[in-house]
Structure 1
Amino acid sequence: MEILNYSFDGEGMQRVFENEKWTVGIKNWKPANDITGINNLERHNKTDELFVLVAGSCTLIYANEVEGGLDIKAVKMEPNKVYNIPATLWHNTVTCKDTKMILIEDSNTSMDNSDILDLNEDQIAAIKALV
């Protein structure tokens, strides 16, 4: 038996470790997470998701459903802190090109138990104003 290590330097997210209970991924900048590319939010309906900022900058965008739309808010991540996205919370990440994050989630998280919400122009403008 020996200690293993994992890395990922490409664009986007790559699961680097997975067992029957949980998954660890490395999430780097990709065009869809740039402030110029943000156009949707996602939610995982059964499990929480954890993020840790390792390098660069990231703003976590999140939204609660309210009558007539979304209440959109933002949290600027600080390095080496764990951020918990509770199950069913709409969210996305806005990153810059040098960003690297660690992502931890239940290994059963998939698009089968997640949703994507396309944003309208007003919602995108609201996100840009927050970032």
Structure 2
Amino acid sequence: MIETYKIEGDGYHPFLIREGWQVAQLNYQEEQHIDNIKKLDVHLETDEVFVLTKGNSVLIAAKIEDGEPVFELQLMEQQKVYNIPQDMWHNIAMEEGSEVIIIEKSNTHISDFEFFELSKEKQIELKEKVKTLFNTVK
């Protein structure tokens, strides 16, 4: 009667998909290391909820003003719930070994996303800000 899930392996894993909503787990992958973040994404049909369960991660949100992202960053705390509203550009920077639970509208990972490529200057700005936050937990 009780379903139990244990998600292993790097990357994004939707594991509980029901009509209208889904739960996924994002385990650290190289793409989420701050040195490798080169884009933001947005969902036009859903909010996205994040819960850090292990490690260190920084949630990245941004508004695009005059064609450039203006960042808001949040060093995540374990077991705290964070929401990225629909239409908000975002990404997540993770340190190795980190795990995050994600709750969102079903099939978001299949069709509800657009990307915004970061310029080299914005990649450098983002990297400096994220590394500063990560350094506060060391």
Which region of structure 1 is more displaced relative to structure 2, 58-67 or 68-77?
Answer: 68-77
| RMSD across aligned positions (CA) | 1.1
Alignment partner of 2:96: what SS? coil
How far has the Cα of 1:98 moved from its partner? 1.1
Partner of residue 127, structure 1? 126
How far has the Cα of 1:12 moved from its partner? 0.7
Alignment of 1:22-101 (within 5 A): 22-101=21-100
Alignment partner of 1:36: what SS? helix
When the two structures are superposed, what TM-score results if normalisation uses the length of structure 2?
A: 0.90
How far has the Cα of 1:78 moved from its partner? 0.5
Separation in structure 2 between the aligned mates of residue 89 and residue 64 of structure 1, nearest angstrom: 7
Alignment partner of 1:46: what SS? coil
How far has the Cα of 1:111 moved from its partner? 4.8
Separation in structure 2 between the aligned mates of residue 124 and residue 104 of structure 1, nearest angstrom: 27
The letter for the 1-side match of 2:105 is: D
Separation in structure 1 between the aligned mates of residue 99 and residue 68 of structure 2, nearest angstrom: 31
| Percent identical residues | 33
CA change 1:116–1:35 in 2 (3 A) is same
Report the structure, 1 or 2, having the larger helix content. Answer: 2
The letter for the 2-side match of 1:74 is: L
Partner of residue 117, structure 1? 116
Partner of residue 15, structure 2? 16
Separation in structure 2 between the aligned mates of residue 68 and residue 123 of structure 1, nearest angstrom: 12
1:67-111, CA deviations, whole angstroms, 9 ceiling, x for partnerless residues? 241211211001101000000100000001110111000104245
